């Protein structure tokens, strides 16, 4: 038995009560009645900004996102609940103060329009129809189809097919997520009024059933030795529109795209012409949008991600040190030369 138990037992047998201050009994705490959610609370936005603004791969890749619009936030939340387990990305959000929008499960990647060597249909000028859902799936009560159009600073994935032309480590700096800038306008080439803008004004969301866009990207190129070697410029002109009036067909989005790619040598970086400037027959609005996209890219985007540039600089520096160490030893020192080669292999994996 512990010392504390022995003392307590001795006090009990001697009928001595410990000196404990008397604390008056507090009244019983009664739980407050549940707060009734009023209409005013219901009308508050679900979040300060939609997750399509999130600064991650999912948010930055948002380009054309079909959505269901509602006049009543209650109906929007009921539809969100019916999607089941899809997370906050499908939370209803508000743009114009009156209507609520729930992003749908289908989205499309900028890469499909921008990069010719990616799996894409943008090589052809023929229109494509992208199915939204089967017509058997009824529209939720009070809902209608719109598109959330992602503008401003966005990202696409540049895939470079691996061959024996380049060292393996080169693909780490040549491929991956890259910045681009997107400018949206309506069918007539006018600015879309009902938009939502990020805090830094570098990203925008618009609600529309049709529109036109210019996507522009300028990507740094590298030699096999990892040194800067000019740029690849990607651009695309895109027209989109929802087709859902025919009850006998699945609701679709019609997409027309035309893209171009310009390779700029290092000696001509300041002299290249804007994409599509050679085509004088297209609507002049397209040229205005290209100029706006180029200006936005130069202001908000990078030609190579900061983390990629940091790794490239680190790798080249460490490789130069390994090469210098090799030259300090005789060619007969096989163990040291082999160890240096292993060190370079480890460096590539960092």
Q: Which residues contact 303 (CB under 8 A, 6 or more apart)?
A: 179, 218, 219, 220, 231
Q: In 3D, which of 23, 2, 88 has the Cα closest to residue 50? A: 88
User: Phi then psi for 290, rounded to 5 degrees?
Assistant: -60, -45
- Quick one: pLDDT at residue 125? 64
Q: What is the pLDDT along the chain (350 residues), one digit of tens a residue?
A: 444 444 445 435 544 444 444 444 444 443 333 333 223 333 333 344 556 666 655 566 678 888 899 999 899 888 888 876 655 667 888 876 788 988 876 555 566 666 544 433 344 567 888 778 777 778 888 999 998 898 999 988 888 889 999 999 999 999 999 999 999 999 999 998 778 888 788 888 899 999 999 999 999 999 999 999 999 998 899 999 999 888 888 888 898 888 888 888 888 777 677 888 878 788 999 999 999 999 999 999 999 999 999 999 999 999 888 888 777 765 545 555 555 555 556 666 66
Provide the token pair at 192: 């879309």
pLDDT at 51: 60
Report how far apart, in Å, the C-alpha atoms of 112 and of each of 19, 191, 259, 347 are. 80, 25, 11, 33
CB distance 238 to 255 below 8 Å: yes
Task: Tell me what pLDDT residue 342 has.
Answer: 56
- Check: CB of residue 130 under 8 Å from CB of residue 253: yes
Domain extents in the chain: 39-303, 316-349
Distance between CA 235 and CA 259 in Å, rounded? 6
**What is the predicted pLDDT for the residue at 106?**
55
Strand partners of residue 203: 152
Nearest CA to 149 out of 196, 218, 189, 187 is that of 196
pLDDT of residue 220: 94
> Taking the CA of residue 120 as centre, how many other CA atoms within 13 Å lie in the half-sphere pointing to its CB?
24
Rg (CA), the chain: 31
**Helices 306-327, 334-349: crossing angle, 10 deg rounding:** 180
pTM of the model: 0.75
* Largest Cα span, the chain: 110
Q: Return the residue matching tokens 């539809």.
A: 79
């Amino acid at each position: 038995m512990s010392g504390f138990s022995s003392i307590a037992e001795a006090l009990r047998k001697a009928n001595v009560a410990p000196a404990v201050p008397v604390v008056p009994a507090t009244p019983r705490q009664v739980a407050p009645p549940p707060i009734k959610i009023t209409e005013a609370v219901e009308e508050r936005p679900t979040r300060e900004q939609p997750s399509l603004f999130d600064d991650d791969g999912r948010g930055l890749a948002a380009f054309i996102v079909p959505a269901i619009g509602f006049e009543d936030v209650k109906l929007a939340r009921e539809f969100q609940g019916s999607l089941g387990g899809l997370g906050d990305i499908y939370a209803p959000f508000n743009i114009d103060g009156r209507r609520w929008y729930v992003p749908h499960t289908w989205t499309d990647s900028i890469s499909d329009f921008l990069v010719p060597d990616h799996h894409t249909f943008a090589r052809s000028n023929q229109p494509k129809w992208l199915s939204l859902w089967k017509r058997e799936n009824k529209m939720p009560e009070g809902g209608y189809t719109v598109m959330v159009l992602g503008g401003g600073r966005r990202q696409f994935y540049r895939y470079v097919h691996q061959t024996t032309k380049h060292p393996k480590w080169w693909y780490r700096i040549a491929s991956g997520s890259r910045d681009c800038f997107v400018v949206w306008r309506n069918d007539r080439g006018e600015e879309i009024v009902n938009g939502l803008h990020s805090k830094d004004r570098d990203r925008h969301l618009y609600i529309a059933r049709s529109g036109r866009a210019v996507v522009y990207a300028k990507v740094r190129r590298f030699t096999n030795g990892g040194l800067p070697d000019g740029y690849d410029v990607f651009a695309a002109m895109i027209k989109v529109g929802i087709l859902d009036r025919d009850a006998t067909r699945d609701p679709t989005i019609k997409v027309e795209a035309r893209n171009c790619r310009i390779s700029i040598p290092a000696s001509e970086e300041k002299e290249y012409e804007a994409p599509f400037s050679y085509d004088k027959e297209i609507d002049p609005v397209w040229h205005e949008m290209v100029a706006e996209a180029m200006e936005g890219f130069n202001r908000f985007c990078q030609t190579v991600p900061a983390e990629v540039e940091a790794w490239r600089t680190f790798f080249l520096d460490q490789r130069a040190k390994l090469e210098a160490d090799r030259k300090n030893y005789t060619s007969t020192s096989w163990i040291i030369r082999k160890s240096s080669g292993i060190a370079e292999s480890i460096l590539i994996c960092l």
